[in-house]
Structure 1
């Protein structure tokens, strides 16, 4: 199985631990990742508020590269990146005039035909039966609250792989590998503050505290995410949140690939779990 690979800015920077974790799992599962040649930023949280044409052209260029190099599917582990690529791909498919304009701007033909998938879909594509057959360790003892955040399932007209308000795909996957995910809690798709970590730290702490404290009250002993921004806010900011709200949370924050990797027999150091701020007892 081979995918075009779009790491995005975060996985080659502040969230390199996520990329190491993802790549370790993909290697174990025999999934080949071919990084797109000369990819650029998707525009993330800033471009659409500054220049709508630029916000369309940035993902369009990456989609043009994927089409040029013959990739029918592109894997983007960051939900912000995958959402921007999927959204622009759908816009291109729906508008001949936009296809013409964007092809001129990015100086290559782009049609939006490339399918963009996230980490959950990669594991689903491998098949739960295949994952459980390859697993060498049961995840018993893990009671994760799976946190999807704002962008993994939204906007629903573009992202259709799970229920946008009450998703359950991560829970199903982890339950099959022996974990006991907390399914009934209140904040699995609420915002953590995303890219406001530096610009408005207090708001990020307010939002992230609600998520962490609610998960803990419903019996979770850890969090699972599939987003680098969510991981930063729930993991790196957790000590500041505890200090501000005078409450010990002590919730390790795993990437989905971390727990799947542990089940597959990959050691915690290879998965870069030791690089997380909240220490994980694995």
Structure 2
């Protein structure tokens, strides 16, 4: 049995959320200045400076001589992973913003690590009722649109390795039914897109497509998220076409910078 869906806390603490988001930015992207953190979080520079100072104090961040903050010992991440995530995010943001302009729904870029999917970029739409930014959040891969698409890119042997029973010895309830998952992934491979109705969060529907490398390997997933009350199945094909066009444009940009 899968663990419960993620739900936001009833009494969120903004300062804690800001600190956690700042730490995630440093971990995923390799470094940022006070001004960049302030802009990303939507806070004053003085607030960003205090957040970063506390992260440094607790070893979640370090400050270079050039005043750039980077992930500290607590948040160590392989340099190549930082480089890939940073490159993906920088290349994807203009395309995410363009999708938001076209469909007016929150748009995301997601990568997979093992059995989890991490949102590395998120651009919110302008509608009052909208799905908020999921940037930095981590979900079970089989519960997210992009996670499913990235799992669908694996061979049977690779999927067996990701969900090997010994990996779930201490949390057997987190392991999905592999027979059912294989059937779903085969369908996603045929379709080339995925639709997620409330699998990760209640009241949320997401549609996504893969973003591929030059050799055809799926690097990430591009998705739009919307409140379920606004999802219209008749809009699905135009929505998928918009996402496909943006994914191909992003792939072309990534090819140029390599």
TM over 0.5: no
Greater share of residues in strand? 2
The answer to which structure, 1 or 2, has the higher relative contact order (CA under 8 A, 6+ apart) is: 1
Q: TM-score, normalised by structure 1?
A: 0.29
